Amino acid sequence: MAMRKLYRVTLTAGEIARLEEILNKGKHSAQKRKRAQALLHAHSGWTDQQILDAVGMRRSSVEDLRQRFVEDGFETVLNGKPKRSRAPVLDGRAEAHLVAVVCSSAKPEGRNRWTIRLLRDRLAADLELESISHETVRKTLKKMNLNLGNAKSSAFRRKATPISPPIWRTSSTSTSARKPPGGR
């Protein structure tokens, strides 16, 4: 005996037309096409087993698709959940302060030069930041094209790597002048 579905997929005429358009026209990702097929089959009353056999999805994926359709809506199911975007940890003012500290002639106490972790601690103290990762400092320095590697100065700009032309190998013998073994 088939179990009654908790989440029923009911599509409008516009949604059906959009799904059919995705399947028949244009370039769409395989994932989007599978979702469109599964939604159309679920709307037609197919069981989860029939859908996963026809579309090639896992049972849990079909069940999740039904649930997301009911709870989150058509667009979310079709396109997936929107990606979270994070605000940058260092704004322009903080980046400028970091560059000023790195490029200044003042060295940290008891050291010959700045390290990434020393810069992190100095930045957190100067700008009253709660926490900042040394990786954020490293990425910011890389974005600014600064390098801490030179011991004589605190920082210097990285040199662009020259693009050298490929070396062509030439041969003094021609392949057409060679005779095959056997003398033919």
Q: What is the pLDDT of residue 39?
A: 92
Tokens, residue 182: 């056997």
Query: Per-residue pLDDT tens for 97-127?
Result: 988 888 887 888 888 888 889 999 989 888 8
- Tell me the HSE value of 52 on the side-chain side, using a 13 A CA sphere: 13
Q: What is the pLDDT of residue 135?
A: 92
Q: Compute the average pLDDT of residues 34-52.
A: 90
DSSP state letter for 25: S
The values of phi and psi at residue 52, to 5°, are: -70, -30
Q: What is the pLDDT of residue 152?
A: 53
Q: How confident is the model at residue 170 (pLDDT cuts 50, 70, 90)?
A: low
The values of phi and psi at residue 116, to 5°, are: -60, -45
Helices 30-43 and 13-24, interaxial angle, to 10°? 140
Q: Compute the average pLDDT of residues 50-57.
A: 90
DSSP state letter for 29: -
Please tell me the pTM assigned to this model.
0.49
Cα–Cα distance for residue pair 82/166, rounded to 1 Å: 44
Whether the per-residue pLDDT at 149 is higher than 80: the answer is no
